[in-house]
Structure 1
């Protein structure tokens, strides 16, 4: 089995923890597995280095300075593996076989990185490669970085291009939890989670796997999150399933939008829950929701609109700070989904600008971490769909 293991800063935060990590790697190697390591900076080294840059350093100098945390970590890890009689080699920018190359725009050069990573994978039969996480190198040999959480990106990227069976993210959390264990009682590990679910959680503050890393995961690559105190790298933690799919979909059902206006939208806690619950109690599925300062809009199937309007009107009548409910029928929704959307500047504009240029009314645009939903008049749906498809 070929695995890439990323050790986060916490798991390398002391000599004792590095020794623990090295022991787990040595055990996997003894069992006959091919292992590559991605090492983050030890503890909070990167943050401390950044805090110490109090002068106006240019990007190249900053990259060189912050790289020292990872450069130290790979040397420490190699020493620990050598103490276990495991052959290892560390790789950092400047090494002749360094794998991760960026172009003039700071983006990963996929072709060159794939070629170099394949070559690095060929060494895994004889040694454990230890790669600095977070760092890259441009074609001129300058140190660049992969951004915040870049060590996760390094690991999943290498796993993909090394044709690894699995990437293991070793961190200071026990996989993905049902809730924050420091806040809620009884939080437990989620054994499995989809890549879409995790990416949405990541963009909303769940610090498990960096969102940028998940775009490199494909269906054939296993990714697992494991606590650093779990000594067996091959078991436990949370498995991340699936891969991102780029889909452009026109929903077949006509929708209606119901807009509830009133001061309660911003001044009364729980108003969204109350309105949603009222619709749910009548068996009405809400397809999408958008909100403004003084309004909430619910999108439901047009077949349900009369019941939905009655339900929401009753809520308006019963609540002094809600003013009215209005309805617009014959709405179409086009959905674009894809894990790479958050990493593409201007992704929303590329979708909506052609529609606006065609003088099609945009009723609403709703975005999430991995999707864009566009609401247009029903009669314009086919033209809008074609414009979106051409834009992608």
Structure 2
């Protein structure tokens, strides 16, 4: 089996943890597996380097300075593997075998990176363990660049994909994905399996398990697993991340209406959203989407319950001094777009909306989430809007 193992900063924070990491890698190699390793800077090193920059540094100098954390880690781990009789080779920007190349816009050059990753995989076939700096990249001129926050995760899953690995193992300081933050929630437990979509939404909203940018490189054929560094075994345990992202464009099949409640500084009034949504829920009226403004809250729901919903919200409005009025807008269609690159591509939302504007399709509303965009257009324009968005995706 071909494995890419990523060790986070806490997993290589000191000599004892580097030895534990080396033991787990050596055990996998001795079992006959091909292993590549991606290593973050030793715990806290990058933050310390950034804190000590008491001057205005260029992006180029900044990248060079922060790269020193990862450069140290790969040398330490390579030395620990050699001490165990495991042939290894550390890779960092500037070396001829370095795999991750970015273009003039700072984006990964997929074709060149894939070609170099395949060369790197040949080392594994010869029994060599490549130990690769996480987070870092270099452009075609040899200048060091970075992959952004969570870049070591991105390095690992990207290379796992391009090296045709069987599994990427993210070694970190948590017991895989938990039902809640164990530092906050009593009784939090490990989740054995979670989908890419579920985890990416959690990651964008603060769960520090796997960087969202890394998950865009996961394919159905590539297993990704998260384990605790204390586990000491790359082959078992932790949480399995299932599936892959797909570009999905969904046209809601039923006509929607928009009910908007306005009120003075409604955003500053606790419980308003609960009051309104509960009034609808108590009568079994499903809310498709909620949008909020400075002084308003809008509910999108199926046309069939529009009159009933309007009456219920009106009752809530007249009982509360903060809310002023409710209004109904009809004949609305909803397009929902989800895709692996929406959050990672600069201008992705603009790319979706520009063709609609050029064709004079009126936008009732645009609502974004961590991994999707919902666009609300006139019902009669729904098919035209769908075709325009499909052309972009």
Asked whether the two chains share a fold, i.e. TM above 0.5, the reply is yes
* CA distance in structure 2 between the partners assigned to 1:26 and 1:80 by the alignment: 10
Task: Give the aligned partner of residue 175 of structure 2.
Answer: 174
User: What is the SS of the residue equivalent to 1:335?
Assistant: strand
User: What is the SS of the residue equivalent to 2:142?
Assistant: coil
Taking structure 1 as reference, are residues 356 and 136 closer, same or farther at Cα in structure 2, changes over 3 Å only? same
1:163 equivalent in alignment to 2:164: yes
Taking structure 1 as reference, are residues 270 and 234 closer, same or farther at Cα in structure 2, changes over 3 Å only? farther
Task: Give the aligned partner of residue 290 of structure 1.
Answer: 291
Task: Give the aligned partner of residue 321 of structure 1.
Answer: 322
Say whether the 8 Å CA contact 1:12–1:18 is kept in structure 2: yes
Taking structure 1 as reference, are residues 191 and 198 closer, same or farther at Cα in structure 2, changes over 3 Å only? same
User: What is the SS of the residue equivalent to 2:123?
Assistant: coil
* CA distance in structure 2 between the partners assigned to 1:273 and 1:198 by the alignment: 27
Task: Give the aligned partner of residue 10 of structure 1.
Answer: 10
Task: List aligned pairs for 1:272-283, cutoff 5 A.
Answer: 272-283=273-284
Task: Give the aligned partner of residue 331 of structure 1.
Answer: 332
Task: Give the aligned partner of residue 366 of structure 1.
Answer: 367
Which sits farther off after the overlay, 50-59 or 164-173?
50-59
Shift of 1:3: 0.9
Which sits farther off after the overlay, 152-161 or 176-185?
176-185
Task: List aligned pairs for 1:208-357, cutoff 5 A.
Answer: 208-263=209-264, 265-357=266-358
* CA distance in structure 1 between the partners assigned to 2:263 and 2:59 by the alignment: 49
Say whether the 8 Å CA contact 1:196–1:339 is kept in structure 2: no
TM-score by length of structure 1 reads 0.97
Say whether the 8 Å CA contact 1:265–1:271 is kept in structure 2: yes
Task: Give the aligned partner of residue 379 of structure 1.
Answer: 380
**Corresponding pairs, count:** 392
* CA distance in structure 1 between the partners assigned to 2:50 and 2:321 by the alignment: 52
Task: Give the aligned partner of residue 27 of structure 1.
Answer: 27
Task: Give the aligned partner of residue 97 of structure 2.
Answer: 97
Say whether the 8 Å CA contact 1:178–1:189 is kept in structure 2: yes
* CA distance in structure 2 between the partners assigned to 1:147 and 1:28 by the alignment: 30
Task: Give the aligned partner of residue 141 of structure 1.
Answer: 142
* 1:314-351 deviations in Å (ceiling 9; x for gaps): 22233222222211111101111102111111111122
* 1:284-307 deviations in Å (ceiling 9; x for gaps): 221111101221111111112222
Which sits farther off after the overlay, 80-89 or 370-379?
80-89
Shift of 1:264: 6.7
User: What is the SS of the residue equivalent to 1:341?
Assistant: coil
* 1:249-300 deviations in Å (ceiling 9; x for gaps): 2111101111112237323223222322332222222111110122111111
Task: Give the aligned partner of residue 42 of structure 1.
Answer: 42
Say whether the 8 Å CA contact 2:265–2:294 is kept in structure 1: no
Say whether the 8 Å CA contact 2:137–2:147 is kept in structure 1: yes
Say whether the 8 Å CA contact 1:264–1:271 is kept in structure 2: no
For the aligned residues, what is the CA RMSD? 1.4
* 1:182-202 deviations in Å (ceiling 9; x for gaps): 112111122211111111111
Say whether the 8 Å CA contact 1:22–1:77 is kept in structure 2: yes
User: What is the SS of the residue equivalent to 1:350?
Assistant: helix
Structure 2 unaligned runs (5+)? none
* CA distance in structure 1 between the partners assigned to 2:157 and 2:74 by the alignment: 18
Shift of 1:12: 0.6
Say whether the 8 Å CA contact 2:179–2:191 is kept in structure 1: yes
User: What is the SS of the residue equivalent to 2:246?
Assistant: coil
* CA distance in structure 2 between the partners assigned to 1:312 and 1:225 by the alignment: 46
Which sits farther off after the overlay, 381-390 or 325-334?
381-390
TM-score by length of structure 2 reads 0.96
* CA distance in structure 1 between the partners assigned to 2:236 and 2:279 by the alignment: 44
